[in-house]
Amino acid sequence: MSSNSTPVETPPAKNGTQAGHASGDKRFKILEVHMKKHQFRHDALIEVLHKAQELFGYLEDDLLLFISHKLKLPPSRVYGVATFYHFFTLKPQGQHTCVVCMGTACYVKGADQVVEAVQNELKIKAGETTADNKVSLLTARCIGACGIAPAVVYDGTVTPRQTPASTLEKINQWVKS
C-alpha cells in the first residue's frame, strides 16, 4: 500500500523533555495535560478515566498504571473505580484491537464508513469481539490526531487517513493469521 497506512512516526522528544509516556504515544501527553488541568487531584480520577477512554477507546493496564502514577493513587484504587462503572471498558478480549476515532474531524472524513465496513466484515458491533477472539472493534472520541483524519489505531499504533478498504485489508491480515 501507499504511505497511507504507514504508522505515524514518533518524533524524538525535544531537548530532553520526556513527553508523557515512555512509548512516546502522543495521547499520553494529551491525557497528562488534562490531569494537570485538574491539578492531579485524587477526586478527578473518574473525570480522567473518561478522558482516557475517549482517547484510547479502552483502558489498558499500562494506561491505568500511567494514571495511577500521575495522580499518585494506588493502582488498586484506579482499577477498582475503572471496573465499578459499566461505562468503562477494560482491555478487550481480542488478540488484536482496532480503535476507530469517531471524533468530529475523523467523523467528517468518513470514520463512520470505516466502522460500518468493519462491522459488516466481522459481523460484530463496535465494542464487541469476534467469536474466535481474534479482533475487538472499538471507537474513541478524538485521539488528538485530527491532522491525519480519519485515524485508526491498530494494536496501539496510530495510523493516518484510513478508508474502509485500507482498514479491511489490515483486519483481514489479522483474521487470516
Partner 1 sequence: MAAKTLTIDGKQITAEEGETILQAATEAGIKIPTLCHLEGVYDIGACRLCLVEVTGTPKLLPACTLKVAEGMEVSTDTERLRKYRRMTLELLFAERNHVCAVCVANGHCELQTLAYSQGLDHVRYEYTFPKWSVDNTHRLFGMDHNRCILCTRCVRSCWHIEGAGTKNVSGRGGKSRIITDLNQPWGDSESCTECGKCVMSCPTGALFKKGSTVGESVRDRDKLEFIVNAREKKQWNA
Site for ligand FES, rule CB under 6 A: 101, 103-106, 142-146, 149, 151
Nearer to partner 1, 86 or 176 (CB): 86
Q: Identify whether the C-beta of residue 54 lies closer than 8 Å to the C-beta of residue 140.
A: yes
Nearer to partner 1, 7 or 80 (CB): 80
Q: Which does 76 bind (CB under 5 to 8 A by kind): partner 1, ligand FES, none?
A: partner 1
Least distance in angstroms from the C-beta of 91 to partner 1: 10
Check residue 173 and report its DSSP letter. H
Query: What is the helix (H) or strand (E) element at residue 139, kind and residue range?
Result: strand 135-140
Considering beta carbons, is residue 75 or 147 the nearer one to partner 1? 75
Q: Using CB distances below 5 to 8 A depending on partner kind, what does residue 142 bind out of ligand FES, partner 1, none?
A: ligand FES
Distance of alpha carbon 117 from alpha carbon 168, whole angstroms: 7
Judged by beta carbon, residue 10 or residue 84, the one nearer partner 1 is: 84
> 18 to each of 22, 102, 144, 173, how far by Cα in Å?
8, 29, 18, 34
User: Smallest distance from the beta carbon of 102 to partner 1, in angstroms?
Assistant: 27
- With CB under 5 to 8 Å by kind, the binding choice for 8 among partner 1, ligand FES, none is none
Question: Which one of ligand FES, partner 1, none is in contact with 73 (Cβ closer than 5 to 8 A by kind)?
Answer: partner 1
Cis before residue 150, ω within 30 degrees of 0? yes
Q: Which three cell numbers stand for residue 49?
A: 478515566
Closer residue to ligand FES (CB): 82 or 143: 143
Please give the backbone phi and psi of residue 92, each rounded to the nearest 5 degrees, phi first. -70, 165
Q: How does strand 152-154 pair with strand 157-159?
A: antiparallel
What number of CA atoms fall less than 13 Å from residue 47's CA on the CB side? Answer: 14
Residue ranges in contact with partner 1 by CB under 8 A: 61, 64-65, 68, 73-80, 83-84
